[in-house]
Structure 1
Amino acid sequence: MKKLQDKIIIITGGAGGIGSGIAKAMVKEGAIVTIVDIDEKTGKEMEKELQAFSPHSMFLQANLMDRENLGQIITKVTERYGKLDVLINNAHASKQATIENTTQADLDLSFGTGFYPTFYLMKAALPYLKITKGSVINFASGAGLNGHETQGAYAAAKEAIRGISRVAANEWGKFGINVNLISPIANSPGVEAWAKAQPEYYEAVKSKIPMGRFGDVEKDIGSVAVFLASEDSQYITGQTLMVDGGSIMLH
């Protein structure tokens, strides 16, 4: 029996980067995954890749900034599969700027793709997660924990996600639902863009990773997500797991 056999899982931002790594790791453990993404071309390509392992997995195109229609994502998945076991809120877009130069549009982008979808999808998923005693996996960032320069909009939304995740862990524990966060460092497209924009800062961060490398989106990040989505983690909730090679050691 595979760890996630026949679990119904939603992953936002699942067409590429960390989301796609998680999706690949999960279908190999028997999960039926719906990847939600705005990018139709990449989404369809990833759908084919996932269906080689999990024929019933699918791609669902959605703009997460369309707040009024977020609930339809949960509705479409539950109508098709009859249940929901795991919600993974991975999607997040942001622009880098100093606080001095951060605009309302920058804040709207970060909260509109990160915090608000996380909040509203959790809310819409709750009735279904109560039935399955399911799991929520959200995403934190060292940018928020350490306050990285030029990451004001991103860090603020990430810390808001951490806050609401802890509240949900407290409120939903009685339903058997666990809510945890992953704070990753991995070779995602976002990190690659950051490396080009700030190569010296990138190398400085890499040199301080005790394990000496950036993580692999499937093997390093995906495997931890599999653990959090499985029965093995049912007594863990409200935690931020630092999957970052030791970069930040929480006390």
Structure 2
Amino acid sequence: MKKLEGKIAILTGAAGGIGKGMATAFVKEGATVVIIDLNEEAGKQTIKELQEYAPESIFIQANLAEHDKLAGIVKQVADKFGKLDILVNNAHASRMNSIAETTQADFDLSFNTGFYPTFYFMQAALPYLKETQGKIINFASGAGINGDVNQISYAAAKEAIRAATRVAANEFGPFGINVNIIAPIAKSPGLIEWAEKNPEYYQGMLAKIPMRRLGELESDIGRVAVFLASEDSDYITGQTIMVDGGSIKLR
């Protein structure tokens, strides 16, 4: 049997990039996925590809900054499929600015698309995940762990997500719900675009990765997500899993 056979999964920000890589890995392991993204065109194209493996998978176009609508999305999914097994909070938008130049708008963008959706989706999914003893996968970043320059709004939101994940692990653990974090370095379209514009900085970053490469979206990041979404990870919770080629070694 496939690792996620019969599972229903919500993945945010999954029309492309890391989210699409995870969704593809999920459907190949038997899951039915609901991908949520602001980009309608990309979402429709991606869901067509995913439906080749999981015909019942669907795309929901949504602006995750509209927090009052997020609980309704979770209910819509649970009502349609009769349950919810997996929640993956991947979506996040931000702007790079130094501390001196960062504005309230920068913080609002980062927290409204990253931290708050993660919180509200976890809150809304809790009753359904209690029924299935489900899994939650949230996303952090080396930018927050290392304190990367020009990343204050993004780093702050990502570290807030890590804190919320640890609290959720403690509160949800008695219900059999696992809550973990992936902190990746991956060959996403955004990173590739940045690398092309900043080749010297990119080469310096690559040299600091012991594996000397970027993570593949499906085979590297997606497969770890499958592990965390499956029963193989039943005794792991509250952890930050660095899927970054060895760049950061947490202690």
TM-score for both structures, normalised by structure 2: 0.99
For residues 25 and 90 of structure 1, the distance between their equivalents in structure 2, rounded to whole angstroms, comes to 15
For residues 144 and 117 of structure 1, the distance between their equivalents in structure 2, rounded to whole angstroms, comes to 18
Q: Which residue in 1 is equivalent to 2:31?
A: 31
Could you say what secondary structure the match of 2:250 adopts? Answer: coil
For residues 109 and 199 of structure 2, the distance between their equivalents in structure 1, rounded to whole angstroms, comes to 24
Distance 1:157 1:197, change over 3 A: farther
Could you say what secondary structure the match of 1:95 adopts? Answer: coil
Q: Which residue in 2 is equivalent to 1:97?
A: 97
Q: Which residue in 1 is equivalent to 2:195?
A: 195
Could you give the per-residue CA deviations for residues 149-193 of structure 1, whole angstroms, max 9, x where no partner exists?
111110000000000000000111100000000000001122123
TM-aligned CA deviation for residue 12 of structure 1: 0.1
Could you say what secondary structure the match of 1:100 adopts? Answer: coil
TM-aligned CA deviation for residue 197 of structure 1: 4.3
> What code does the residue aligned with 1:79 have?
D
Q: Does 1:119 pair with 2:116?
A: no
Question: How many percent identity over aligned positions?
Answer: 64
Could you say what secondary structure the match of 2:59 adopts? Answer: strand
TM-aligned CA deviation for residue 8 of structure 1: 0.3
For residues 124 and 194 of structure 2, the distance between their equivalents in structure 1, rounded to whole angstroms, comes to 33
- Structure 1 gaps of 5+ residues are none
TM-score for both structures, normalised by structure 1: 0.99
The number of residue pairs the alignment matches comes to 251
Q: Which residue in 2 is equivalent to 1:132?
A: 132
Q: Which residue in 2 is equivalent to 1:144?
A: 144
For residues 205 and 91 of structure 1, the distance between their equivalents in structure 2, rounded to whole angstroms, comes to 23
Q: Which residue in 2 is equivalent to 1:58?
A: 58
Could you say what secondary structure the match of 1:101 adopts? Answer: coil
Instruction: Show the 5 A alignment for 1:163-202.
Output: 163-202=163-202
For residues 203 and 116 of structure 2, the distance between their equivalents in structure 1, rounded to whole angstroms, comes to 32
Q: Which residue in 1 is equivalent to 2:45?
A: 45
Distance 1:114 1:88, change over 3 A: same
Q: Which residue in 1 is equivalent to 2:86?
A: 86
> What code does the residue aligned with 2:222 have?
G
Instruction: Show the 5 A alignment for 1:145-160.
Output: 145-160=145-160
For residues 57 and 104 of structure 1, the distance between their equivalents in structure 2, rounded to whole angstroms, comes to 37
- Structure 2 gaps of 5+ residues are none
